[in-house]
Amino acid sequence: MLAQGHLDASRLQGNIGGSRRDRTTNSKARICFECGGSETAQWRRHPETKVLLCNSCGQKAYRTRML
């Protein structure tokens, strides 16, 4: 029974190490310059203008620059 209680408590605490970031509690609100999105797996900079872009728009900007 004690082991089960310990398991439940560790589930409630979540990721104690903090290796993953919570995208909703960033200190700065980030918004993609191109599409206006606010949540993404990775933020990127435009290769030429250096404006902030979401992952999708950043990859698109990089691909069109390379053509």
12 pLDDT higher than 50: no
pLDDT digits (tens, 9 = 90+) for 17-42: 544 555 544 558 999 999 999 999 99
Query: Band of the pLDDT at 64, cuts 50, 70, 90?
Result: confident
42 part of a folded domain: yes
Domain with 45, as residue range(s), is 30-67
Query: Band of the pLDDT at 3, cuts 50, 70, 90?
Result: low
Nearest partner of 35 among 55, 49, 50, 21, judged by Cα? 55
Helix, strand, or coil (residue 32): coil
Joined tokens for residue 11 = 């589930």
Helix residue ranges per DSSP H, 1-67: 2-13, 55-66
13 part of a folded domain: no
49 part of a folded domain: yes
35 part of a folded domain: yes
Indicate which CATH number applies to the domain containing 34.
3.30.50
Q: What number is the average pLDDT over the span 30-59? A: 96
Q: How far apart are CA 50 and CA 28, in angstroms?
A: 17
52 part of a folded domain: yes
> Do residues 42 and 23 touch, judged by C-beta distance below 8 A?
no
Query: How many domains are there within the chain?
Result: 1
Does the pTM surpass 0.85? The reply is no
